Amino acid sequence: MKLLETRKLTAFYGDFQALFGIDFHVDEGEIVAVIGANGAGKSTLLKSITGLLVPPAQTLYLDGKPIAGLTPAKIVHRGVAMVPEGRRLFASLSVEENLLMGAYGGRRGIWNFESVAKLFPILKERRKSPATALSGGQQQMVAIGRALMSNPRLLICDELSLGLAPIVIKEIYDALKTVAATGLTAIIVEQDTSTAKEMSNRLYCLQEGRVSLTGISRQVGHEQITAAYFGLQANALLQQAQP
Ligand code: ATP
């Protein structure tokens, strides 16, 4: 059962076309990774899904119902929450207040301050601290917790590993596995293709605004990913490198 689907999705910034007819979907209970080089269109895809960019009519569906044109707030209310790149916490608010902001406008469900604190115990210890006083990894936990507090049906994570040490990245993704075990559906955007492959059921690679590869993550090889990531340039380089 498709929870979210894009059909021939396009996106523009003024005259510049960033996405060219993207067919993408996430089934209920699935984790789907989106990978691709800088500028491939990953953030643009996420902005279109979350209503920050307005997609053309008939290109975006949640539960089979069209949602193109809904405001970001209405899309959150329908059950789509995002952990944005760079976390974007409220600097003047405490950890607990940041988490509670996530519940505002969200849905009812299993996620509340207590269940988030169980997932990330350090957030309970630091609940009164300003969010910006936390380490980068702890701030990422707040950002994930804040998104979970809206009890989303679809959690979208934009580059969780950015700027974090490998041990912290592992901790964050281990927590995400715990969350996934509750049956939550997720889209993860990752520059780190190994993490993306390991964490997801299926993956899409974008290149210059088009899907260059899609498949079941454990069946997709690293060479295929490299070719899809860099496209013709990589193929040409590989050919040049051959004797
Ligand atoms: P990154 O990993 O660097 O975040 P990305 O895969 O998320 O890259 P996008 O940010 O979606 O890529 O960018 C896709 C294309 O759209 C790029 O060519 C980028 O320069 C362009 N673009 C992105 N945002 C804007 C904007 N606000 N105005 C004009 N062009 C933009």
Ligand 1 atom at minimal distance to the Cα of residue 45: 11
The two beta strands, 202-207 and 154-158, are unpaired
Q: How far apart are CA 161 and CA 151, in angstroms?
A: 22
Residue bearing the bigger pLDDT, 127 or 172: 172
Ligand 1, atom 17: nearest CA belongs to which residue? Answer: 39
- Longest alpha-carbon distance in the chain: 62
Closest CA to 60 of 107, 23, 98: 23
In terms of Cβ atoms closer than 10 Å to its own Cβ (0-12, 13-18, 19+), residue 156 is buried
User: For residues 205-233, b (16+ Cβ closer than 10 Å) or e, as one string?
Assistant: bbbebebbbbeebeebeeeebebbbbbee
Model pLDDT for residues 190-209, shown as the tens digit of each residue:
888 888 999 999 999 999 99
Confidence (pLDDT) at 91: 76
What number is the average pLDDT over the span 225-243?
A: 64
Q: Where are the alpha helices (DSSP H) in 149-192?
A: 166-180
- Mapping DSSP to helix (H, G, I), strand (E, B) and coil, where does residue 164 land? coil
Helix, strand, coil % in the chain, rounded to nearest 5? 40, 25, 35
Looking at the predicted structure, is the pLDDT value of residue 59 above 90?
yes
Q: Report the separation in Å between the CA atom of 99 and the middle of ligand 1, taken as the mean of its atom positions.
A: 29
Q: What is the pLDDT of residue 241?
A: 53
Ligand 1, pocket residues at CB < 6 Å:
13, 16, 18, 36, 38-44
54 C-alpha to center of ligand 1: Å? 15
Q: State how far the Cα of 211 lies from the Cα of 190, in Å rounded to an integer.
A: 15
- Binned at pLDDT 50, 70 and 90, residue 240 comes out as low
Residue 243's pLDDT is 53
Q: What is the mean pLDDT of residues 180-199?
A: 90
Q: How would you class 73 by CB atoms within 10 Å of its CB: exposed for 0-12, middle for 13-18, buried for 19 or more?
A: exposed
Across the range 44-57, mean pLDDT stands at 95
Distance of alpha carbon 188 from alpha carbon 46, whole angstroms: 10
Under 8 Å CB-to-CB from 174, ≥6 apart: which residues?
none
Q: Choose one of 6, 9, 12, 13 to mutate for the ligand 1 pocket test, by most ligand atoms within 8 angstroms of C-beta.
A: 13
d(CA 36, CA 193): 9
Q: If 0-12 CB within 10 Å is exposed, 13-18 middle and 19+ buried, where does residue 201 land?
A: middle
Is the distance from CB of 210 to CB of 179 less than 8 angstroms?
no
User: Nearest C-alpha to atom 16 of ligand 1 is from which residue?
Assistant: 18
Q: What is the mean pLDDT of residues 72-101?
A: 84
